[in-house]
Structure 1
Amino acid sequence: MSIAPEPSASRGEITLQPSYFTSSLYVDPLREDISKLIASFDDQFKDTIEPFALFKKLWTDQGWCWLHMRAYDGRARQSFICTTERVFAERVADTEDPIARVVALFCLYTFYNTQPSTSAPPFYSVANIAVPMDIYRAMVSLPAVLHEGPLFRLRPYVVHILTTLLNAQTFYILPDSSLRAQNPTRLPREIFVPEGQGPSEALHMTAATESAQQEGPNAAPKKKGRPSKRDKARKVKEALASLERYIDRNAVALPGQHPPHVLGPDNIATHPHSTHVVFGQAPHATLNNYVDRRNELLAAVHAYSLDSADTTDASRSRTKDALQRANEAVLLRLKQIDAMAAEQGLEVGGEGGEKTGLSRVERAVDELRQSSGVGASGGILSLLEGAGMDSNN
């Protein structure tokens, strides 16, 4: 909902600009006051029977009941309400203490439902609470956290509040907080610089604080603005060097290779073919499992083809026919895929030379057809045993 332009304040009146409520002058004290309210509730929670009654008493005693009187004109109230609800909602995240999450939910519910609606002229009010998806999930899952000890007494109140807000379709769901879909993307957006402190020093301290909150206490402050071409090139070189170090640490020579240093052309030392340590080790467990399953399949096909009225040679012929039809179907499908790839300028079947690819599958199927060679027993099923390998290599 857009806000109509507001008239300027008359002489002698003070009007807060919308940017005030997104600045450090409002956001930082608001966060401190919320922490104070949470601490007060935590201190007195164990001695009370009615938790929400305690919250209402603290809300009134600490002056939160007058919070809506902070701004009157529509543009300022829009920024004021959205910022306040956003700061309340950020304390409901699952990284917070359960007591803090419950109190923040109480604050959000109370602040939203106490918007003035009977004043003349009427105050601006919001119909929905904008929350990111991750905060919404944490909010909905809050009752599951309150399952033991004194926290269980808070569960009925939390369930009632969430049910009321959800039934009224109060929440306006935004993308995840990491995508920064909220406006402004960060709070506070405007930083107040105290007298005697330079703007650059204040910006440096703010950047260092945000970086420490996001990346840990030992993280260096990030630079403002987009990264330069030099920074991008430096990051690419660092990533490439890190990848090379990782490959060197985990590279092993392929089986059957020459010693590590071999004299190549022009008496230059060369390295043998190598691969990653994971690929250099034969997957014996997987291979044995495949062989067992394949043998079971062949035995099942052979048993299905047996008939008491048939001779052994006839049953073997039917077994071979069934395997041959399956091999021919797979070969036909592979040829279709290879043709489709060729139409798009891709290369699929011949990338591995004679040891892999479509030509080897054709030879394995031919071995089954002729009942000769390694593939005579299973055709494509015997590729791991060397079916389809060129005998001249």
Structure 2
Amino acid sequence: MSIAPEPSTSRGDITLQPGYFTSSLYVEPLREDLKTLTKLFSEQYEAAERPFELFKRLWTEHGWCWLHLRVYDGRGRQTFLRITERVFIERLASTEPLLDRLVALFALYTFHNSQPSSSAPPIYVAPNIAIPIDTYEEMVSLPATVTEPHLLRLRPYAVHVLTTLLDAHVLEILPHSSLRAQNPSILPREVFVVEGQETPTVLQPEGAVDEEGISPSKKKPKKKKGRPSKRDKARKAKDALASLEKYVDKNTVYLIDETDPMSNTEPESTHVVLGQAPHSSLHNYLARKNDLLAAVSHDGAGVAGSSDATQRQGALQRANEAVLERLRQIDAMAAEKGLEVGGEGGEKTGLKRVERAVDELRQCNGSSGILGLLEGAGLGTSR
């Protein structure tokens, strides 16, 4: 049925174009609303004495009864009715959960039969419901599939709804869905893209594959030929700026004035590397190391003190041996993978020097082992 030409809208009126109802701006929210309606029905179904009355109450409470007032002009309304009924029909497929199929059947029946029959001025009313033949067969056999005990109460309602639709001859049978006879063949046809975001891949039917047998959704997008567009340049610049801001925030430290810690002035910020003074770090390391070595070498007084010192010295030697063994394991693992290893740094660096430092500690010549590397341990010049 074709739509007769209509006059343009008066000044100030808003008209939704047919392309809006085939786009993701309408199709995706409608699918989500239908899922919400199904979820609410499933949650309250067990306690309801009359399930279809529960469905009608939910349909009214959540605004579905006002859906027909969304558009009035003939061209937009024709697409609106066809796409809305098609979304309901999608949920009638046998691959969907049984309760979801029943709710979709109730929604299709209620939406089609609640079209305004009289209005001034008159508005377009869809006389038929277009449905692919394979989905039609699955819909007709739906009552026979309701065998679960907790859903048996819904079988009479499903039979009544199907009988009403069939007796009214409102179902327009289309070819098999695999032939893609519906227009548009894929929903949504137009995908809304937010400025600055990646353009989504072209939508394909579920299970579609290319000539190589690979699903288009799993293939990597091909790089565009030619110079990048202004949009691509702007997107890359925004991504680079966002990454830089995250890096700066993650690695920023604030310098506190040590001479006046209680100062109310805002502390200066800098990179974490610049915020760590090397001389101060070295001084702290040497102080802590000297305290440790002094505690280990302190003999104390009496036999008990000598025994404790021997135990502390033994603990220091075991720690050196453990570190050396771990370094050897790392060296062997790196060599297996062809990476640069510690034994390739010459006699004065790397694993060989650590081995000599640990050997000096074994000889009990006053060396501190690995802790003395900074003072020349392993070079024959340790103190």
Superposition TM-score, scaled by structure 1 size: 0.53
Residue number in structure 2 paired with 1:36? 36
Q: Tell me if 1:85 matches 2:81.
A: no
Residue number in structure 2 paired with 1:54? 54
Q: Indicate if the aligned counterparts of 2:207 and 2:215 stay in contact, CA closer than 8 A.
A: no
| One-letter code aligned to 1:134 | D
| One-letter code aligned to 1:109 | Y
Q: Alpha-carbon deviation of 1:202?
A: 2.1
DSSP 3-state at the match of 2:117? coil
1:30 and 1:21 mapped to 2: Cα distance?
A: 10
Q: Tell me if 1:121 matches 2:117.
A: no
2:186 and 2:96 mapped to 1: Cα distance?
A: 19
Q: Indicate if the aligned counterparts of 2:186 and 2:205 stay in contact, CA closer than 8 A.
A: no
Residue number in structure 2 paired with 1:266? none
| One-letter code aligned to 1:72 | Y
Q: Indicate if the aligned counterparts of 2:133 and 2:175 stay in contact, CA closer than 8 A.
A: yes
Q: Indicate if the aligned counterparts of 1:211 and 1:220 stay in contact, CA closer than 8 A.
A: no
Q: Alpha-carbon deviation of 1:214?
A: 4.7
- Spell out the pairing of 1:1-393 with structure 2 (5 A cutoff): 1-197=1-197, 201-204=198-201, 206-207=202-203, 210=204, 214=208, 219-221=215-217
DSSP 3-state at the match of 1:173? strand
| One-letter code aligned to 1:170 | V
1:193 and 1:36 mapped to 2: Cα distance?
A: 24
Aligned identity (percent) is 61
| One-letter code aligned to 1:184 | P
Q: Alpha-carbon deviation of 1:222?
A: 7.9
2:32 and 2:91 mapped to 1: Cα distance?
A: 12
DSSP 3-state at the match of 2:126? coil
| One-letter code aligned to 1:219 | S
Deviations 1:281-336 (A, max 9, x none): xxxxxxxxxxxxxxxxxxxxxxxxxxxxxxxxxxxxxxxxxxxxxxxxxxxxxxxx
| One-letter code aligned to 1:15 | T
Unaligned 5+ segments in structure 1 are: 224-393
Give 1 or 2: higher helix fraction: 1
Q: Indicate if the aligned counterparts of 1:211 and 1:221 stay in contact, CA closer than 8 A.
A: no
1:54 and 1:143 mapped to 2: Cα distance?
A: 19
Q: Alpha-carbon deviation of 1:220?
A: 4.1
Distance change >3 Å, CA 222–CA 177, structure 1 → 2: farther
Q: Alpha-carbon deviation of 1:12?
A: 1.0
Where do 4+ consecutive residues of structure 1 move more than 4 Å?
211-215
2:206 and 2:161 mapped to 1: Cα distance?
A: 34
Q: Alpha-carbon deviation of 1:6?
A: 2.1
2:191 and 2:91 mapped to 1: Cα distance?
A: 21
Q: Alpha-carbon deviation of 1:73?
A: 0.4
| One-letter code aligned to 2:137 | R
Deviations 1:125-152 (A, max 9, x none): 0111000011101100000111231111
Unaligned 5+ segments in structure 2 are: 220-383
Q: Alpha-carbon deviation of 1:123?
A: 1.2
1:29 and 1:186 mapped to 2: Cα distance?
A: 16
Q: Indicate if the aligned counterparts of 2:130 and 2:172 stay in contact, CA closer than 8 A.
A: yes
Q: Alpha-carbon deviation of 1:193?
A: 1.0
| One-letter code aligned to 2:164 | T
Q: Indicate if the aligned counterparts of 1:88 and 1:104 stay in contact, CA closer than 8 A.
A: yes
1:189 and 1:220 mapped to 2: Cα distance?
A: 16
Question: How many residues were matched structurally?
Answer: 216
Deviations 1:244-293 (A, max 9, x none): xxxxxxxxxxxxxxxxxxxxxxxxxxxxxxxxxxxxxxxxxxxxxxxxxx
Superposition TM-score, scaled by structure 2 size: 0.54
1:45 and 1:160 mapped to 2: Cα distance?
A: 19
Deviations 1:25-59 (A, max 9, x none): 00000000000000110111111111100000100
DSSP 3-state at the match of 2:8? coil
DSSP 3-state at the match of 1:221? helix
Distance change >3 Å, CA 126–CA 137, structure 1 → 2: same
Q: Indicate if the aligned counterparts of 1:212 and 1:219 stay in contact, CA closer than 8 A.
A: no
Q: Indicate if the aligned counterparts of 2:109 and 2:161 stay in contact, CA closer than 8 A.
A: yes
Distance change >3 Å, CA 212–CA 168, structure 1 → 2: closer
Q: Alpha-carbon deviation of 1:203?
A: 3.6
